[in-house]
Each structure stands twice: as structure tokens, then as C-alpha cells.
Amino acid sequence: MHIAYFSERPYHPLDEELTIAQGIWGIPNRYFDPAVGARLYNEYLDQAVLAEESGYDGIVLNEHHGLVTCMGAVANVEAAILARITKRCRIIMLGNLPTIVGNPLRLAEELAEIDLISGGRLVSGMVRGGGTEQLANNSNPAFNRECFEEAHDFIIKAWTMPGPFRYEGRHFHYRFVNPWALPLQKPHPPIWVPGLVSPETVTWCAERNYPYVALSTYLEPTIDLWDLYCETAARKGYQAGPENFGYLQKVVVAETESEARELAMLELQGGRAAAFAAIRPEFMFPPGYNSKKAAGRMARQFRNPKGGDELFVPRGDFDVGEAKKTINSPAQLKILEDSYRLIVGTPESVVPKIRKILEVLRPGSFIIRHSDGPLDHQTRMRLIRLIGQRLLPALREIGSELGLVSPFDRKPGGQRLSSGGAWQRVARVDALSAL
């Protein structure tokens, strides 16, 4: 099992009532302090280097625009730096946004340089991007998927087809394609695709043997997507396995249970732990961005599968002070823990909880998302060391015991179907029932 480190590199500090009242996207940039930003960028790079030294197999970077919870607006800059200052870890982009970059040839060249500088350690994740990315980059959300697919196909062609050549597509046009620097990995760097609940994305990944990475989604709808992937893979003639799947899980650990819970409560500030609850729906889901099937699955994704209380989601007019009390409450934390959206405890106490997720989903890649609450640099460094020393060894044993083969140990799409031609599930529904 491949275990990777992830932080969304949030901007701190920011007034909590401001993020609750306005949402975490589109806050005026007059609230950005360049001195604070300069410090944070360097701290996050130091933390990524320590993650490698602490035993992680990969460092994950993502990209957002105009979002206070993610400073990685140009994640390739961070990736290029890490390519030079790290030695062993895979640099995993989850991911670049070819739909909004406007020039996929430039993106192909950037990624090729990163792969070369790193010595062939790049994982080139590609994403459609959320609705906010379309608004932040003046991109028509209705064309998002077809732009994504065309840009992807063009980048693969730029990496693998000898140039120069001419390209005339629907959305992109080039009279001269001849990138000089090509990736070190052949035929091209591995491509992973993250997502929430879009069935179209899962099908698209399975048709290309690309690992699909679920971003901390509820387990029941995630199993449905795993099954859809396996079914699609069977039509393509192969049996999907753990190597075709990844899962991102937020884990907050500390030396003691009480400190871990204090850190988890910080995670709730500003509505961050409620996923997209702090982004207004008109920004996150603009018309034309999601298909009807994806919208239906999204409704399931943000419904508490156990029933009962829900995470606080601002709707219409609401009192900011009262909302703050609701968000920063043990009840909200309990909802997140009960639904396995957030795992809290000491390194030893979280192992059984993570094991349950691994038994159900059986992913070959497991990404630990560290706390994005307002923690100081020293605390973050201490927690990275703690996880490396006391959690990662236990997770590796579980991965070996469960046979969770990573995409670096077995090529995705390399398993033939059984003689009968029937596909086998990767996820274990029986384990979910027991959970």
C-alpha cells in the first residue's frame, strides 16, 4: 500500500466569522497579508520535506483558486521546488486543471520539467476542478468535461507523439506542437484522477486504467463507484484491483486523546471540516457543471448515512454567531467521526478505525490528510513526526496483510479477468455491514 502525505496549505489566520458569513471562496484579497503568505509557503514546503523524512511514500499537492483554505493556486511551482529538494517521495498532483489553464501545451511542458528534475517521480493527476475554479478563471462550466477530456488527450499526445505536428481540436488549436523537454517516465508519468461522486469521471478513469482517488467520500456511495469502475474495467477486458483505487482520509492525531480532540475542534473553525458547506452552492455547483447523475450522487454524499443530525450547512439568511456555536460544537465533531469523515485520537487508537476503512474499500493508495486547523509550524512538524514514528508502520502491516497492492507494485489494468469473464468486487460490502 502506497501511503501519501497531504495538506491543503490553508491561509491562517483569518477571521472565523468572515468565513462563516461569506464562505471560504471569494473572500476579498485585501485580507491577504503577503508577509504571512510568504511564511506559510515556506513552512508548508518544510513540512512536506519532513513528511518524506518521516517515512511517507508520496507528497500530494492540489490546486484551488481564490480559496482561503488552499494556497496552492499554482501547485506546479511547489511541485518543481519539491522535485529538487526531496529525494525519494512520489510527487502526486491531485491535481492540475487542464480545463482552465487555457494552454494545455504549456501544462505538458511544466509537468515534463517536474518529472525530469525529480528523476521520474511525478504522478500527473488531472482534475476537472470545482465550480469555483470555473468562475475564478472565466471558464464556461457547461464545457468543463469536454474541455477536460480534450486537454487530457492533447497532453498525452504532446508527450508521446514525435513532433512537430499540427493540432486542430474543438477547444484547442496549435499550428506547431514540438515540446523539447519530454517526461523521463515512459510512455508518460502515471495519471491519477481524484473525484467526489461523478460516475462519468469513474467510467472515464476505468476506460483508461487510471487509478481513481476518492476524496474522503462516505463509504456507501464510494463502494457504488468502486463497483462501477470494476464493471467498466471488465468491459475493457481487465479485472480492477486495489492498484486502481485510492482514498483520502483526514486524520487528526496527538500524543493524548485530549490533545487530539482539541486539535480536531480547531479543524471545525470556519466550517472547513464540513467540506463544501462553507462554499455557497451557486459558486460550487454552477449551472451546467454537474450531470443529473452526479447531482443525485452529490445529494447522497452530503447526507448523513446513519440518519439523524446533519452537518451545519448555511442556507439563506442565518445568524453568524449562532452558526459559529453550531459549527464549533462537539455535536458537529461527533457527526464527522461517526461517518468516518474525520478520524481523531492517538496513533494507536486511530489504527482500528483506519483499518475498518481499509477493509471496506481496499485501496492500494491511502492518503492521510493532516489537520488544516490554525496550528503553528512547530505543532505541525511534531505531528508529522508522530505519525511517521507510530502510525505509518502499523498501516503498512495492515496493507500487507490485506493484500493492498499499490499502482507502483502492479500496473493498473494488468490483471486479466477470470476464465468465466465475471468481474470481482474490490470493496467488501460485508465489511461495510459489520461497520
What three-state secondary structure class fits 5? strand
| pLDDT value of residue 136 | 79
Residue boundaries of the structural domains of the chain: 2-434
* Alpha carbons 132 and 404: distance in angstroms, whole number: 35
Closest CA to 267 of 186, 369, 170: 369
Q: Cell digits for 426? A: 474490490
123 backbone dihedrals φ, ψ, rounded to 5° = -115, 115
Closest CA to 311 of 347, 350, 267: 267
| pLDDT value of residue 329 | 87
| pLDDT value of residue 314 | 59
Give me the amino acid identity at 5.
Answer: Y
86 backbone dihedrals φ, ψ, rounded to 5° = -105, 170
Q: Each residue's pLDDT tens digit in the chain (435 positions)?
A: 999 999 999 999 888 888 888 888 888 999 999 999 999 999 999 999 999 999 999 999 999 998 899 999 999 999 999 999 999 999 999 989 988 778 999 999 999 999 999 999 999 999 987 778 877 778 888 888 899 999 999 999 999 999 999 999 999 999 999 999 999 999 999 999 999 888 999 999 999 999 999 999 999 999 999 999 999 999 999 999 999 999 999 999 999 999 999 999 998 876 665 544 566 677 777 777 766 666 665 555 555 545 555 666 656 667 888 878 888 888 889 989 998 999 999 999 999 999 999 999 999 999 999 998 899 999 999 999 999 999 999 999 999 999 999 999 999 999 999 877 799 999 998 898 877
Any idea what the Cα angle at residue 388 is, between residues 191 and 399, rounded to 5°?
Answer: 55
The DSSP H or E segment spanning 252 is strand 245-253
| pLDDT value of residue 286 | 75
> The CATH number of 2-434 is which of 3.30.420.40, 3.20.20.30, 3.40.50.360, 3.10.450.50?
3.20.20.30
Render 10-78 in DSSP notation, one character per residue: ------HHHHHHH-SBS--GGG--HHHHHHHHHHHHHHHHHHHHTT-SEEEE---SSBTT---TTHHHH
Render 322-351 in DSSP notation, one character per residue: HHHHHHTSHHHHHHHHHTTSEEEE-HHHHH
> pTM of the full predicted structure?
0.92
Q: β-strand 165-168 against 122-126: which pairing, if any?
A: unpaired
